[in-house]
Structure formats: structure tokens, C-alpha cells
Amino acid sequence: MPPPYKRHVFVCTNRRPEGNPKGCCASKGAEEVRAAFKEEMDKRGLKGGMRANAAGCLDTCAFGVAVVVYPEGTWYGGVKVEDVPEIVDQHLVNGRPVERLMMPFSRKEKAGS
């Protein structure tokens, strides 16, 4: 009975048909990003206490690959496989969200809080 998770990561893996003007996270490498989260979590023995979940459309298509981390509600955009170790180490393990990868509204919220 694994949850509740200390941190629950949702990666948008939505796929739209080729040529859709909105684009989609799947075409930008979302499955690879999710696999990287799982792998980096496993490497650090975090499995069970955290989860890298697939999600349907997170409605932030312009910022794909889109990732949201709860319970903080930190939104990351344009996430690439090579960004994942930094998010895992700095945010998931040490609780310091990675400013440079946040979506604009997530940054603004933090700045204003």
C-alpha cells in the first residue's frame, strides 16, 4: 500500500495527431522524461516514497514537456531527459525547486509568496 507519496511527479505524456497546431508533450520526448524520472528515483532508492506518474494533458501545451510536482504544485516546462537528475537531486530529495526550469506562472507565484 504505497501512497501517500512524499513527492508525486506527474509527467504529461499526452499524444496528439501529427500536425496538430498545439503540439504535444509525447512528441517532445515525454515518455523518455518519465522513464528518466523513474530511473533516477530508483538509483537513489526513492521508490515507494515517490512516484513518477504518467498524466494526460496538463493543459500547458506551449511549455511541454510539462511536469508538475505535488504537494508543492511546482510546474516545470520544456523538461528534457538531461534536466531530470537536477530536479530529482535538488527538488525531490532536497526540497529546493529548480527555478530555471519552472513555468512562468510557477516562478511568479514563488516570487510573490
Query: What does the binding site for its own copies look like in residue numbers (CB under 8 A)?
Result: 1-5, 8, 10, 13, 51, 53-60, 68, 70-73, 75, 103-106, 109
- By three-state DSSP, how is residue 75 classified? strand
User: Cα–Cα distance between 2 and 14 in angstroms, integer?
Assistant: 25
**Nearest residue (CB) to its own copies, 2 versus 45:** 2
Q: Of 39 and 72, which has the nearer Cβ to its own copies?
A: 72
Query: Where is 50: in which H helix or E strand?
Result: strand 50-55
- Written as nine digits, the cell of 82 is 538531461
Whichever of 89 and 109 has its CB closer to its own copies, that residue is 109
Distance CA 69, CA 48 (A): 16
**Residue of 64, 72, 66 whose CA lies nearest to 91:** 72
Q: Which is nearer to its own copies, 8 or 44 (CB)?
A: 8
* Dihedral pair phi/psi, residue 75, rounded to 5°: -105, 125
Smallest gap from residue 54 Cβ to its own copies (A)? 3
